[in-house]
Structure 1
Amino acid sequence: MFALIVDYVLEKSAATKENNCVSLRRSKVCTAFSQFYIGLPGLEYDYPFLINTTTIEEFDQRLLDYADSTSDYLFPLGCLSSNYNPTVPYARYSLTRLCAGMIQNPTYSLPCNYENALSPPPLCKTTCVQWVNSIESITASHRVCSDTSQRNNTLNSFQDQCETWAGYNGTIAENCISGVANEPYSCGKNT
């Protein structure tokens, strides 16, 4: 019996260490999500750019850096080539989409919100679609993206996420969070 109790305490301790519920109250990047929580460091498994992130300040900076990098959408679309311009255009509502994805993460963040009697609303589908349309527009030029089959397949996958994933396909009736609510001063066009 003692061994079972010790095992339970060790498992509980490991789970607590694995996933701390961190409030977004002080976030400057996910302002429309400020009443919700994210699970750190657990989110680093799905978002490797968050490795060793422990504070909201670090979270905000790493999120900004990632949204302004090639990793957010150029790399997955196969758009890195010899014609690549090192200035990465910001895809509209990238930060909002990332915030929503992290808050809606079923393994690390949703349990944190449920523990605090919160059920985060999804991202508005229209915001998700605007993000995809922005990427499509930015990468339409062969000077930016020469691998059109990978680009098209990935764009279709992104669009499918907007259509099918509950975290990205919210409606006004569900009180979804819009991009303009999170990025009001830029209309989600740049940071």
Structure 2
Amino acid sequence: MSGKFIVVEGLEGAGKSSVMSLITAILTASGKTVQQTREPGGTPMAEAIRDCVKQNWQETVAEQTELMLMYAARVQLLTNRIQPALKRGEWVVGDRHDLSSQAYQGGGRGIDREIMAQLKAVALKGFSPDLTLLLDVDPVVGLERARGRGELDRIEMAGLAFFERTRARYLELAGQDDRIVVINAMQSMEEVHADVKRCIKEFIA
């Protein structure tokens, strides 16, 4: 039996890490074998690409460069970890997947939708998560939470307008796909976790 791929999405400061841990605990308690992944990253090569994407370079990082690096890391993760795990019947919980590129590079950076669609088709060949939880947070609140964790990386320093465009694209795409569930991440952590628990238990059932 094939496993399932569940993805947690959201802006910086949305609370993805705690939700990832919660989902993993629920799935494990129900008898599933679970792997966690993150994007970009998750394999040695993909982690090296992550470092490349995140750091502040003393040169202009072209939007197309950022986009293609994201997909290069994603294909490595998909090929080496996600698809093999699913074939073994394991469940995979991912910190970000393709929806991030559609929102960040497509919405935030403003890269043409047709280019986004073509690259997605070439890289993923129709692969998609079974369930995505989008933790929706106001960018002002999310960035303030992110700053509280420490120094911001190159993408996190893109500015408020960038994250407002990213959030708008996230919500637009969520409204077009019934496999994406929007969770209000402006609630207390207890309320967010209660919503996540309900969603995951319904999905398992």
Q: Give the TM-score, by structure 2 length.
A: 0.30
**When you count helix as a share of all residues, which structure comes out higher?**
2
Q: Give the structure with the larger strand fraction.
A: 2
Per the normalisation by structure 1, the TM-score is 0.32
Q: Which has the larger radius of gyration?
A: 1
